[in-house]
Chain A
Amino acid sequence: MNDTAISRAPARTKIINFISSYGSVIGIILVLVVFQLIDNRFMRIQNIVGVLNSSTLLIVMSLAMMMVMSVRGIDLSVAQVADATGVIAAMLIIAGKPFWLAIIVALLFGLVIGIFNCILMSYLGIPAIIGTLGMMFIVRSFELTLTKGAQPQILFTLPPGRTKQFFFIGQGSLGPVPMLIVICFVIIVVMYFVKERSVLGRHMEAIEGNVRAAYLSSIRIRKVFGATFVFSSFLAAIAGIMLVSRSGNAVPRGVETYLTDCFVAVYIGTLVSKRNKFTVAGTVVGGALFVGFLSNFLTLRGMGAAYKSLFNGVFIIAAVALGALQKNRK
């Protein structure tokens, strides 16, 4: 009994090691291959470009969420802020303001909410899960009051001269590449440098590991922790503008469903990196793109909201359970 266990052990640990470092990537690819086998429309170039284009919003919002979650915070207001900024931008355009003013005001709104979140969570010490939940409802209330009870703000019926520049963000393209993908790519690169290559990023990692130790090594934890909330709301504001510019109308409470997708994206994203960390690459590739392809597949097959929530739930639990399994083994 003992002998066999010992002789088998190295082979088994090798396999487990291999699975634990690459298993999730293999799993993701396998799922996509299965999707292709079920429905051969899935891997057509047209479809892929479409998915990439619509995933850009989720990528930006997931990056926002990832920033906060990487310091063990959470931002439940992220989708609501995107929603509200979209509505604000749309209302300003409808009111006849120039497009740059609409964008700046909308971004400022995101920034202000971010600073509020920063003060509440980091300087007053409210647990992020409660504070951002409260903020989500406050922003929703604000937005509903602004639109007099969730009236959609429709832009595409305006004369094209007034909306042309604004729509360029979401519908135009730079050469052959859609503008949304360009913006998204720029954001990914910037966030990569902030998160993985800057002092702030390193301080964030220290806080993720151990706040007390980070504090003792004279990292200003309140500033770093609070900064992630500002980043998060600002990115959410950008996502909101991108969305409204793409679809040409802003329906209040229309973006709220993105919140849950963000969670799934960020948690699946942790599996891609070796030590289950929150990384930019993981969130983009493993998370947001995978979630984008998943919901695209469900749409292609004509499966509705019920299946989407079920899949989301199963994938979250599976992703984190796998992570917990790897941790326990070490």
Chain B
Amino acid sequence: MGDRRQRKQRGGETMTEKKSLSISGLGDFLIRRGTGVGMIVILLALGLRANLFFALSNLMDVLKQGSILTLIALGLTAVLIGGGFDMGAGALVQLTCNLAAGLIISGVNPAITLPVGLAVGFVTGMVNAFLVIVVKIPSFVATLGTMFILQGLTTYYNKGEALTITRQPFFSFLGQGRIGIVPMIFIIVTVIAALMHYFFKHTRTGLRMYATGENSAAATLRGVNTKKYLMLSYCISGAILGLTGVFQASYAYGASAINSGMDFLIQALSAAYLGSTFSKTNELSVIGTVVSGMFIAALSNALIINGISNQQISGILGTILVLSILLNVIKKREIGQVTIF
């Protein structure tokens, strides 16, 4: 506490002096870097109990397991940055996953599924944006409605049966292949994340989307067309989620009939919000999302190696979600009203 006051008084000091870490600066350091330190400590503790976790092949597996989750979280981050919300993120992934699997089974060239997934996602994003911006339905309800419709379409399409893909070496390479030792799907994640990072942090459009999401009224006063940027964020998010569904089909050798849209959603939300605790102002960021997504995958992996059952993992993830958001809001302490409906 005292340290913070001191730092306020010494406002004009140079960067190097500010960064120097004394013992009294430890608390401040923990607040700023707490998430990262916490992640490393947790994984180290779990890894030391079960050394298998640190094996190179296991670490690569973690990257592979976390990739789909990270992609969904990236899609969600895009829409959250623009100030929207998407309950239907998981449902959209499931729909395009089923579509891709169904198309390949019916003999379509696997390469075509990628643009199909992209297009379906983009159109869904447009519909969401239309409902939120033109019809003025609050984003939570609008996307809840589209979530139901997407679920219905998925069940209608697969008739409640699993769609399994066999003997598609090229298509399966996307999700399951490796280049050298690195999983192909992780390379895809890296490329998409790099593109998104550049777009959101280094282009005019991306920065304006940030402005729209953080304070829509202020952005409007500065002459930003907030409706346009909100729509754009829904479309980008939809496109990424649509593509993710195709990768999911490749990763899982098809589509399962189990409705796991909600599970996808909670993990992706956890990753996005956990990622935002990296920044001092709790700003959502692409890199934070990627790191957190991979952390969640690593945590699940480490817990399973430590002999904790699958049933408890969802509870642990729920706890992480609550704690990570708690770090964000504990200073403000408003009541938890939902303003998005």
Name the A residues within 8 Å of B326 (CB-CB).
Answer: 124, 126
Asked if A133 contacts B269 (CB within 8 A), the reply is yes
Asked if A129 contacts B266 (CB within 8 A), the reply is no
Name the A residues within 8 Å of B340 (CB-CB).
Answer: 129
CB distance from A188 to the nearest CB of B (A): 24
Query: Are A317 and B325 also in contact (CB < 8 A) when A133-B266, A312-B148 are?
Result: no
Asked if B333 contacts A141 (CB within 8 A), the reply is no
Partner of B141, one of A122, A307, A320: A320
A120 adjacent to chain B (CB < 8 Å): yes
Classify the secondary structure of A's interface with B: helix
A306 adjacent to chain B (CB < 8 Å): yes
Bitwise, A307-322 to B at CB < 8 A (1) or not (0) is: 1111111101100110
B17 adjacent to chain A (CB < 8 Å): no
Query: Are A138 and B318 also in contact (CB < 8 A) when A128-B338, A310-B156, A324-B137 are?
Result: yes
Q: How large is the interface on A (under 10, 10 to 19, 20 to 34, 35 or more residues)?
A: 35 or more
Asked if B137 contacts A310 (CB within 8 A), the reply is no
A314 to B309, CA, bound (A): 39
A130 adjacent to chain B (CB < 8 Å): yes
Name the B residues within 8 Å of A125 (CB-CB).
Answer: 329-330, 332-336
Number of B interface residues at 8 Å Cβ cutoff, please give it. 51
CB distance from A109 to the nearest CB of B (A): 15
B153 adjacent to chain A (CB < 8 Å): yes
Partner of A260, one of B131, B137, B148, B335: B148
Asked if A130 contacts B273 (CB within 8 A), the reply is yes
A128 to B341, CA, bound (A): 12
A263 to B142, CA, bound (A): 12
Asked if B141 contacts A316 (CB within 8 A), the reply is yes
A125 to B326, CA, bound (A): 8
Query: Are A317 and B311 also in contact (CB < 8 A) when A124-B326, A125-B329, A309-B152 are?
Result: no
Name the B residues within 8 Å of A311 (CB-CB).
Answer: 152
A161 adjacent to chain B (CB < 8 Å): no
Binding site for A on B (CB under 8 A): 131, 135-138, 140-142, 144-156, 160, 266, 269, 273, 309, 311-319, 321-322, 325-326, 329-330, 332-341
List 12 interface pairs A-B (beta carbons < 8 Å), by A numbering: A73-B337, A140-B314, A141-B311, A144-B312, A260-B148, A306-B153, A309-B148, A309-B152, A310-B148, A316-B145, A321-B131, A324-B136
Binding site for B on A (CB under 8 A): 71-74, 120-122, 124-131, 133-138, 140-142, 144-145, 149, 211, 221-222, 225, 260, 263, 267, 304-314, 316-317, 320-321, 324-325, 328
